[in-house]
Amino acid sequence: MKKIALCLLLVSGLMAAENKDYFGFFAGNADYRLKTSALGVTTRDNMDDTHYSFTLGHYYENSRISGTYTYVDGGVDNFNSNYSFSFAYDFILPVVKDQFSLYAGPVVGYTRLTDGEINLSGINYGGQAGVIVKVINNIELEAGYRFVMGTGNDKVNVSGIDFNLESEYMKTWYAGANIRF
């Protein structure tokens, strides 16, 4: 029994040293920019909401790859179905070895943005940047900024007038924690 316990302890120690997978939980602010055109007049509207994200990823030596699901709480006045899936590749610059790092990299994904008969869902692409602070061995705090351009568009007819709607971009600020395993 002692040999099995010793083997399990050794294997778990090796796995912790080599395996750099992580998951993270984040919350923050999402700001959507929408463009509406009708009868030669163009207006732009911003929707400002709270978002929550869950990320799964893997660290490499000076980079990481991740997949993120983000839910945006639309509130009463904004779109009632709003979430996105995205993939990111970040380059990591250690500032203070094993304690404080900066990161930046490209992001690509899909955003679902609907409300009744309006559907502005589509591909998004852009970049993100932020900081990672190690708290203890497997837990780190992260804060960042993401900017993605949207490709979603729709046409709605209201009282015989065609309105063209376009999703221009989304800016998000976020903060949360990662757990490495």
The two tokens of residue 139 are 């837990």
Q: Please, what sign has the CA dihedral across residues 129, 134, 140, 143?
A: negative
The answer to whether 74 touches 35, Cβ cutoff 8 Å, is no
Q: State the residue range of the domain holding 130.
A: 21-180
| pTM of the predicted structure, to 2 decimals | 0.82
Asked if the structure places residue 13 within a domain, the reply is: no
What angle is formed at CA 109 by the lines to CA 119 and CA 143, rounded to 5 degrees? 115
| pLDDT tens string 45-82 | 888 889 999 999 999 989 999 999 999 876 655 666 68
Q: How many domains does the chain have?
A: 1
Asked if the structure places residue 15 within a domain, the reply is: no
At 42, which CATH number?
A: 2.40.160.20
Q: How many other C-beta atoms can be found within 10 angstroms of the C-beta atom of residue 34?
A: 21
Asked if the structure places residue 9 within a domain, the reply is: no
The two tokens of residue 36 are 């509406």
Burial of 98 (0-12, 13-18, 19+ CB in 10 A): exposed
